[in-house]
Every structure is written in structure tokens, then in C-alpha cells.
Amino acid sequence: MLGFDYGTSNCALGIMSGDKPELISLADHGTYMPSSLYAPSREVIVNWLQQQLSPDAKAEFSGLRRFQLQKGQSMLRELALDDIPGDLFFGKQALARYLEDPSEGYYIKSPKSFLGASGLKPQQIALFEDIVAAMMTHVKQLAEQALQQDLHQVVIGRPVNFQGLKGEESNKQAIDVLTNAAKRVGYRDIEFQFEPIAAGFEFEASLERETRVLVVDIGGGTTDCSMQLMGPQLMPNLDRSPHLLGHSGQRIGGNDFDIQLALKGIMPQLGMDSLLKSGKPMPVNSYREAVAINNINAQTEFYSGANGRFLQQLKRDAEQPELVEHLIQVHQEKLSYQLVNSAEQAKIALSDCDNDKIALDYLNNRNKDETADVSRLLLLDAAKRELGSICELMQDTVKQAGCQPDAIFVTGGTAKSPVLREHLQAQYPDSQFIIGDNFGSVTAGLTRWSQRIFS
């Protein structure tokens, strides 16, 4: 009986130890594995996954992915000629492999962000299903090694809405991907629970009386809010729907804060705020697409051959062509994830200090000391729209509930940021404001719910 937070930022599994949830150690990853994967080629993911499956699952999978497996086998032969193994890497190891040579291999961060995307073709959905299954397999194998037992029952967390567009259609697509992947890797009993409700279960365990709680779960890809009636007398109920007073969610999360900080803090160093020789401002669309790592269409457009030619023309037209040369380097070496990762590390650093410097030596071999200066004020300005949207979600949830919260419980990695915390607290100065376990609240709540429904 597991709680599984397949998160946009991190993956974590929990199991009950007595009356308390305990996160499972995932070997070298620790209790949290960053949600990222690296393969020497996208085509070989399916072949790696096939080798991990049980005989029955392998036979079914081989029938479903016959063409992809043949293509992957051909790619494995090509890689072998260059003495490159077909191994996959996960978490921090995946990021490290990508950073060794961003122009080679296939790296994906936060695949959960794409599961509800509209307009995906069947082959794209199949690829995401295989990526999710590969990550689930890796995590499940490590958990089974740690616990010395087979794992078959799981509650998986889900946001209220995976995607802002096409609401329930997007949600169904994402849930189908997660369900198919979980079945494929050996989970027999699979249930889902809203992430803000799960986070609320963990907070509820600390309450001594009935309380109206506004739970704000700011994940890597989505923000979910729920107003819940909680208390020790309500905890034993298996049907908590009467206690859910309102909920809302939107595709805004920590990744968006990273992207906006990259745009405001780094892209000026690449010429975004410079001028053309004509005196006109530099077109900004390519700069936005370059860091939009959670938007398939934007990334496809940025890395297209047509955009490469456009950037070369932009360099010729620029008043400071050496700056645009950096953007061309991003295009040629596929550095989008590296840029956003730099911004993410700066965002984390700004939790403890007012100012930070982002090292940009990978953009300029001639000047190893080049940096971009960022601050909490810059982060606040960069994330203005995202903060406003989160406040609107909170207001909408309170309006649905028809009452004010006694307490506001905020969880998720970005909740650690003082910029976010102070902005949200200012919206409800009369409510008790609590910051939960930045990463573990959802996993712990899912684990508690798993024990209740599977016992």
C-alpha cells in the first residue's frame, strides 16, 4: 500500500510505518528523485523499458510497440558502433549526463507537464507513456529493493487540472497515460487522489479541532487549491467529499517561476532588451520560446531549421551581434534546459539571500566570469503574472466554499520562497498561515489515504 507522488519536480514513494507515513529511500536518489530522464537517443527508451517488464507484460508491450522497438533496435546498433551503451539515467544523474554535452542525447525534465497537452499525436502520447513507465519502473524497483517486497497497490497523486485548456479532455488523457504506465510496470490496484486534498490529509493529522483549511499546493507544473473541513473527528471517514468545500487548479507552478526568472534575469545577456541597427527593439519571441521548456510547440519552433536561419539574420541586423550569438549558441547546442536550470538554482538561492549571481560561462568561452545578477525584487517582478494567477485560484476556491479559511496551508517546493510566501500571506492577513513540508506533504497524505482504502 503505497502513496506515489509522481511530481513535476520530484518523484517520491511513501509507506505507512505504524500510524505515520514514511518516505522510502530510493538508493542514491535519497527520498526524492528529480523528475527527469536522459537517454542516448529517444528511440531506445522503448527498448530499455521492454527489458524491465515481466514476461506477460513484455509480450503485450512487444505487440503494441513493434515498430518503435524495431526502430530502437536499429538505433542501438548505431550507438554500439560509437561504443555508447543504451542505458537510461534518472534524476540528478540524468541532469549530469545532459550537462556533459547538451547537444547530444535526449533529456526530458518534468514529463508530467506535458501529459495533458492538447494536440498530441498518438505516437507522442505513446512516447510519454513509455517515459512515465520507465521512470515508474526505476522508482518501483528501488523501492522494492529497499523494502524487500513486491509492491502492487498504489495511490497516485494528480492535480485538479493537468492543463488549462480542454479541461476534462486533458485530464482524461493524462490519467490514461499514468494508469497505463502504472499497470505496465506491475501495479495491480491503482487509485488517484487530488494532490491538494492529499496534502490536507497530512496537515489534518496535526489538528485538535474542526478547522476550515485552504490548502495551496504549488507544484512544479500546477497549482491546486482546495478548501477543506478538517479535524480529528472527520479523519476516519472514507468519503471526504462532503468536507471538500471548494477546489480549483491551473497549470502554473515552480517551472513557470524558473522560466520567467530565466527570461527576465538571463535573456537580457543574450540581447533580449537590445536594439536592432534600425533602432527598433529586438523581437522577443525567440527568447520566450528558448526557455519555454514546458511547451512542446514553442520548443519545436525554437529548434527548427527555419528559426536557426532567422536567428542568423537577427544577428546581422543587431546593434550588438555578439549578444545574439549567445542565443544562436543556445539553438545550436540545445541549451534550453541548462538556462532554466541556472534560473532554478538562483531561485532556490534567493530563498536564503536577497541577491544572487547566475554563472553563464557555458554561453561564452571567451569570458569565464560572465554572470547575470538576480534578486528577490527581480523574481517578484518576473513572477508577477504567476503570483496573480495563484491569488485568483485562492479567491475562486474561497468563493466556492462560501466562507473564509481559518488557516492557509501552503506546500510544494516553491512555497519555500519568501517572495511567494509574503505575497500570498498579504492576501489573507487574518488567517493563520502555515508552510508545510515543501516536498513531502503530498506523498505523506497519499500514503495515509492508501492505507485507508486498501486496508
The pTM of the full predicted model, rounded to 2 decimals, is: 0.84
Other CB atoms within 10 Å distance of the CB of residue 9? 25
Q: Alpha-carbon torsion 118, 120, 124, 126, what sign?
A: positive
Show the cell assigned to 159.
492535480
392 and 309 within one domain: no
Rounded to whole angstroms, what are the CA distances from 186 to 57, 66, 138, 144, 391?
Answer: 8, 21, 12, 12, 40
Residue 90 and residue 226 in one domain: no
CATH number at residue 402: 3.30.420.40
180 and 241 fall within a common domain: no
Within-domain flag for 231? yes
The whole-number pLDDT of residue 258 equals 95
Q: Is residue 214 part of a domain?
A: yes
Q: What is the mean pLDDT of residues 389-400?
A: 94
Domain assignment present for residue 450? The answer is no
* C-alpha separations of 270 from 197, 287, 288, 313 in Å: 42, 8, 12, 15
Residues 47 and 183 in one domain: yes
272 and 286, same domain (yes or no): yes
Mean pLDDT computed over every residue of the chain: 92
Helix (H, G, I), strand (E, B) or coil at 374: strand
C-alpha grid cell, residue 254: 515552480
Average pLDDT over residues 129-151: 97
- Last residue of one domain, picked from the residues 364, 382, 400: 382
Q: Above 90 in pLDDT, residue 230?
A: yes
Q: Which domain holds residue 327?
A: 255-382
Write out pLDDT tens, residues 29-79: 999 999 999 999 999 999 999 999 999 899 999 999 999 999 999 999 999
Parallel, antiparallel, or unpaired: how do β-strands 36-39 and 33-34 relate?
Answer: unpaired
Q: Is residue 350 located within the same domain as residue 393?
A: no
Residues 131 and 184 in one domain: yes
In this prediction, residue 131 has a pLDDT band, given cuts at 50, 70 and 90, of very high
DSSP line for 168-222: HHHHHHHHHHHHHHHHHTT--EEEEEEHHHHHHHHHHTT-SS-EEEEEEEE-SS-
At residue 1, the pLDDT reads 84
Q: Are residues 43 and 105 both part of a single domain?
A: yes
pLDDT at 297 > cutoff 80: yes
Beta bridge partners of 212: 229
**Residue among 115, 119, 118, 120 nearest 180 (CA):** 115
In a domain, 353, yes or no: yes
- β-partners of residue 153 are 189
pLDDT at 113: 87
Has residue 24 been placed in a domain?
yes
Interatomic CA distance for residues 34 and 90, integer angstroms: 8
Report how far residue 200's alpha carbon sits from residue 449's, in angstroms, rounded to the nearest whole number.
11
Whether residue 404 sits in one domain with residue 292: no
Counting the structural domains of the chain, the total is: 3
347-369 tens-digit pLDDT: 999 999 999 999 998 887 555 67
**230, 402 contact by CB (below 8 A):** no
Q: pLDDT tens digits for 94-120?
A: 999 998 888 889 999 989 988 988 888
Can you tell me the mean pLDDT for 175-196? 95
287: its cell numbers:
527568447
pLDDT score for 414: 82
Q: Looking at residue 363, what is its pLDDT? A: 84
- Mark which of 146, 167, 194 sits at the end of a domain: 194
The reported pLDDT for the residue numbered 295 is 87
- Is 228 inside any structural domain? yes
Mean pLDDT across 249-260: 91
Classify residue 202: in a domain, yes or no: no
> Which residue among 359, 382, 405 closes a domain?
382
Q: Please give the pLDDT value at position 103.
A: 85
How many helices (H) and strands (E) in the chain?
Answer: 17, 16
Q: Are residues 41 and 136 in the same domain?
A: yes
Q: Measure the CA–CA gap between 134 and 136, rounded to whole angstroms.
A: 5
**Domain-embedded: residue 90:** yes
Cell of 45: 527508451
* C-alpha distance from residue 376 to each of 237, 336, 349, 428, 436 (Å): 43, 23, 10, 21, 22
> Are both 219 and 365 inside the same structural domain?
no
Q: How far apart are CA 293 and CA 311, in angstroms?
A: 19
- What does 418-430 look like in DSSP terms, one character per residue? HHHHHHHHHH-TT
Same domain assignment for residues 9 and 103: yes
| Axis crossing angle, helix 336-349 with helix 91-100, rounded to the nearest 10 | 130
